């Protein structure tokens, strides 16, 4: 009987310990599920932005790690339209890969780490060579919002000038010093242009960042058309822009950013509602 009682106590103690560890196991499973979902969003964002003409063979998308604010996730150095889940890597805030495994990494990854360090509220970043945006970074005509969906561009968009930081050299942002200067130029804005190079777009999450990137390109096309018409242009003012962003901040399912995000994902990833 003593043996049976002793065994019973051991089993009971083991059961109690298992129950005690259950919340940790559940929490860990949820955290991994969050990471997996974010990886899927990063892949979708690469494919979407390629299909929409914002990305071509170059450019990159990242997201802050959901469980560790001092790390971020980004693909290995591939053309965005070819990125898969297996290509997503983890980086620290010095842009050092934690799981490289022989994979090539983007030379301009420092853009992401320096913006994340400067902007705690940012959880998604894009660097692209969005084509219609380029002229506004190289001319004296500022990129301004002409479309309600691009109201976040108000009142105008800052332009990063490499020559002010490093003289006449390659325009690639390949180290932390250059990337920090870019982050400082961006300031608290959602979009920053890079003269002769492209732009950076940030957001609180992947869908919002993707929406901003697409409508930045759309707005640039429309602004060029409006300029070609001649005469004065009535731009979206800051009050109109704030009201529009407030509506998008609500992020209601089936409305605004969510509506377009679901459509873009289905188009890019081959999914279907049926």
Residue 32 counted as domain residue:
no
Q: Which residues contact 254 (CB under 8 A, 6 or more apart)?
A: none
Pick the range with the lowest mean pLDDT from 28-37, 90-99, 167-176. Answer: 28-37
Residue 244 counted as domain residue:
yes
CA distance 233 to 162: 30
Average pLDDT over residues 57-71: 98
- Across the strands, what pairs with 127? 60, 200
Q: What is the pLDDT of residues 183-199, one digit of tens each?
A: 999 999 999 999 999 99
Indicate the pairing of strand 191-194 with strand 159-160: parallel
Residue 154 counted as domain residue:
yes
Three-class SS state of 97: strand
Domain count, the chain: 1
Q: What is the pLDDT of residues 218-266, one digit of tens each?
A: 999 999 999 999 999 999 999 999 999 888 887 656 667 889 999 999 9
Residue 142 counted as domain residue:
yes
CA distance 249 to 262: 17
Q: Are 153 and 238 within 8 A, CB to CB?
A: no
- Which CATH number belongs to the domain containing residue 67 in this structure? 3.40.225.10
Residue 108 counted as domain residue:
yes
Q: What is the mean pLDDT of the chain?
A: 91
The model's confidence at residue 1, banded by pLDDT at 50, 70 and 90, is very low
The backbone torsions φ and ψ at residue 89, rounded to the nearest 5 degrees and listed phi first, read -120, 165
pLDDT at 16 (0 to 100)? 62
pTM for this predicted structure: 0.87
Per the residue annotation, which of 40, 108, 184, 240 is the catalytic one? 108
Residue 99 counted as domain residue:
yes
pLDDT at 5 (0 to 100)? 55
Q: How far is CA 6 from CA 1, 11, 208, 265, in A?
A: 8, 9, 59, 58
Residue 187 counted as domain residue:
yes
pLDDT at 256 (0 to 100)? 73
Domain residues for 216? Answer: 42-269
Can 114 be counted among the known catalytic residues?
Answer: no
Q: Which residues contact 166 (CB under 8 A, 6 or more apart)?
A: 178
Residue 190 counted as domain residue:
yes
User: Has residue 212 got a pLDDT over 60?
Assistant: yes
């Amino acid at each position: 009987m003593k043996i049976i009682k002793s065994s019973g106590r051991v089993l009971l103690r083991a059961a109690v310990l298992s129950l005690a560890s259950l919340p940790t196991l559940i929490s860990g499973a949820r955290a991994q599920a969050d990471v997996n979902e974010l990886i899927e969003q990063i892949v979708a964002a690469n494919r979407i932005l390629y299909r929409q003409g914002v990305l071509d063979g170059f450019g990159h998308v990242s997201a802050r790690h959901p469980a560790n604010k001092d790390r971020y996730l980004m693909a290995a150095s591939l053309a965005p339209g070819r990125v898969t889940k297996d290509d997503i890597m983890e980086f620290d805030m010095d842009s050092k890969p934690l799981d490289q495994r022989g994979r090539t990494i983007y030379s301009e990854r420092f853009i992401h780490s320096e913006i994340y360090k400067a902007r705690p509220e940012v959880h998604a970043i894009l660097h692209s060579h969005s084509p219609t945006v380029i002229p506004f970074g190289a001319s004296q005509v500022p990129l301004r919002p002409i479309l309600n969906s691009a109201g976040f561009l108000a009142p105008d968009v800052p332009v990063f000038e490499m020559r002010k930081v490093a003289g006449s050299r390659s325009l690639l942002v390949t180290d932390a010093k250059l990337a920090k200067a870019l982050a400082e130029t961006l300031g608290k804005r959602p979009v920053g242009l890079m003269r002769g190079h492209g732009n950076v777009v940030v957001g609180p999450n992947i869908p919002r960042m993707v929406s901003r990137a697409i409508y930045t390109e759309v707005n640039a096309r429309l602004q060029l058309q409006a300029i070609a018409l001649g005469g004065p242009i009535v731009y979206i003012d800051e009050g109109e822009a704030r009201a529009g962003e407030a509506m998008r901040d609500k992020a209601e399912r089936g409305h605004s950013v969510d509506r377009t995000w679901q459509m873009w994902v289905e188009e890019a990833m081959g999914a279907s509602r049926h």
